[in-house]
Amino acid sequence: MSLRRAIGAWLTAGISGLYCYADQAANAQYRYPACVVTPIGMASTPIGSGGTHYLTRDGTTNNVAKTGRLHLVEEIHRLTFMCVSTTSRHGQDQADAMADAVALLIQNAKRTVSVTMTDAVTSPSVAYIIDRVDLAGRQEVPSLTTQEPFVYRAAISIRTWRRVTSETAVDGVIEQIALTLEGEPQ
């Protein structure tokens, strides 16, 4: 399960001709324009008071088997776009155009209630329901001029928010408690 792959699949579906990779080494065939999705940070906070939101009971004994809490997870990913120059267009112009196209894709995603990003590589495929996606900023990234052809880059950061459940198995079950107070008959 990888949200990075799901973001890459969402970007390639929204922008034609873009190749997305988890890191630069995965682009072994040197296909351009390319995008590398890099996780930067993650924060998880419980929703509400942080208490138990739901219980799962055992089917045979009806005892509580699992307790669950709902968390709001905020993740930041950096999208680095890499392009090479062609006869018709400079590579830096292409990289900036890709960053602008993703910014427009994010603006369109803001108009919807939620965005579903799917990691189809895993079996079975995992769908991430993103409650909100936002543009966090744009970074200046130097070009890679030490190799041929020169690779021109542009980078933006995006924030995603989604709800995640965390389940905890119940270790021990107290079936019955018998209390007797001192001085009272039994």
- Transcribe 10-26 into DSSP letters: HHHHHSTT-EEESSGGG
Is 166 a member of any domain? no
Is 173 inside a domain boundary? no
pTM of the model: 0.78
Do the domain assignments include residue 47?
no
Residue 26: inside a domain, yes or no?
yes
User: Looking at the domain assignment, is residue 135 inside a domain?
Assistant: yes
**What pLDDT, on the 0 to 100 scale, is given for residue 186?**
58
Alpha-carbon span 20 to 12, nearest angstrom: 7
The pLDDT of residue 184 is 64
Q: Is residue 14 part of a domain?
A: yes
**Could you list the residue range(s) of the whole structural domain that residue 104 is in?**
3-42+76-159
Is 38 a domain residue?
yes
Number of domains in the chain: 1
Contact yes or no for 70/37 (Cβ under 8 A): no
Contacts 24+ apart (CB under 8 A), 142-146: 143/91, 143/92, 144/82
What's the pLDDT at 112?
85
Tens of each residue's pLDDT in the chain, 186 residues: 588 889 999 999 989 888 888 777 777 777 888 899 999 999 988 887 767 777 888 778 777 778 788 889 999 999 999 998 888 999 899 999 999 999 999 998 888 888 999 988 888 888 999 999 999 988 888 887 777 778 899 999 999 999 988 877 777 766 667 777 777 665
Q: Which residue has the tokens 């922008």?
A: 15
57 within a domain of the structure (yes/no): no
